[in-house]
Structure 1
Amino acid sequence: MSGTAAVLIIEGMHKSFAFLAAPLLITAYGLIRVLDGLDGERGPGPAWTTGHLAFLLALLLFVPVLREMRRLTGGRALATATLGIALVGVTCSLAQVSIDLVIGLLAADHDDMRRMFTDVHNLPGMDIAVYEAGPVLFFLGLLVLACHLAAARAVPVWRAAAVSLAVLVAPIDLDLLPAVGLLLLVGLAPFPRGARPAAARS
């Protein structure tokens, strides 16, 4: 086996891992979140911290996922612009999760958390950028890229349908995040290692 072939295989394994791990981590976060709320309150504590760390890792893993989805479309202008929008959404989501994580670590109890979150939400532009419109851009970009791949016949239509359903379910209720993660798993994993960009297909 040549060195180039070995590098390609390793790169494919890394991409496959991201396509598998990112949805599973969202499912894990959703399940931990549900368990954390069984007593009527969420955080602070190990469940809050563990769940948010899982979500943080999921978001980081979605960066190579989104980049690879853009590559498979053929890298045209629409896909490149969509990738940029999605990455802005990922950045906003990372900011949100990081804030939640830090507050959970610093707060002495749930009332303390509530006061800290009130201070954060009172900052100008924080709600719209970090907690509302910003994170939506991630899901919007993911949806557009998945549909683009299906339209270009780079992936089966059912994969795009699963991703689309996940994006539609996500805003309904955060308690549905385990289902969102599983739908994304259906749509994104296992990643086809032999897939080529749409433009390269005959």
Structure 2
Amino acid sequence: MNVRTAFVAAPLLILAYGLIRIADGFDGERGPGLAWTTGHLAFLAALVLFVPIFREMRRMLGGTPLATAGLVIGVAGLACAGTQFVIDIVVGFMAADHAGMGVLFDQVKAVPGVQLAVYDAGPFLFYAAQLMLVTHLAARRLVKAWTPLLVLLDLALPIIDRDFIPVGALLLLVSFLPLARRSAPAPRHIPVHA
């Protein structure tokens, strides 16, 4: 998958997660089950796509020290957020019901450092890096000045209510479309004839 596609696919996968999450809650509980697992796999796939996205943003910024710091912070945050989603998927498979998931989550979060690194502070590095890199791109006039505002709204809406994740994902898609157009095209492979 080329980076142009990643700029579009990542927000769409987050949108899918948000919609599946809402549907999963129709019975009053979220998880375990197919919706829980599918939604979390969608978000996990989006996180994987942010690695080339962050690298491309760094490239667009000329590899400046600030852009490199954004990349490093972003990848660290991706690792923490990715770990959280893997744990969520495993707990969903191990638990017989929603109450059982709560017991397993309590056990995981009781491990020293896990709560802070995987649930509280670590994933916020991913979001901070997004905002940092997009703001740097706007300061260099590589994207519109309103782009960081859309990314900030995308990050803030789920804090207000997680049911706003789909709205935030659409805002992220709008903010990423100009980046997709600006990103380097995938290299073309020219066949070699013998």
TM-score by length of 2: 0.90
Letter paired with 2:59 = R
Unpaired runs of 5+ in structure 2?
Answer: 186-194
Alpha-carbon offset, residue 155 of structure 1: 1.4
Q: Is the 8 A contact 1:170 1:176 kept in 2?
A: yes
Look up the match of 2:177. 189
Matched with 2:157 is: 169
> Sequence identity, in percent?
54
What is residue 4 of structure 1 aligned with on the other side? none
Give me the whole-angstrom Cα distance separating, in 1, the residues matched to 2:24 and 2:130: 28
- 2:37–2:92 CA contact under 8 A, matched in 1: yes
Q: How many pairs align?
A: 184
CA RMSD of aligned residues (A): 1.6
Moved more, 185-194 or 50-59: 185-194
User: Which amino acid is the alignment partner of residue 187 of structure 1?
Assistant: S
> Do the aligned partners of 1:154 and 1:195 also contact (CA within 8 Å) in 2?
no
Q: What is the rounded CA distance, in whole Å, between the counterparts of 1:154 and 1:161 in structure 2?
A: 15
Secondary structure of the corresponding residue to residue 186 of structure 1: helix
* C-alpha deviation, 1:193, in angstroms: 4.2
SS at match of 1:157: coil
Output the TM-score relative to the length of structure 1.
0.87
State the partner residue of 2:188.
none
Partner of 1:5: none
Conservation of the 8 A alpha-carbon contact between 2:60 and 2:183: no
Counterpart residue identity of residue 53, structure 2: V
Secondary structure of the residue that 2:121 maps to in structure 1? helix
Q: Distance in 2 between matches of 1:95 and 1:192?
A: 31
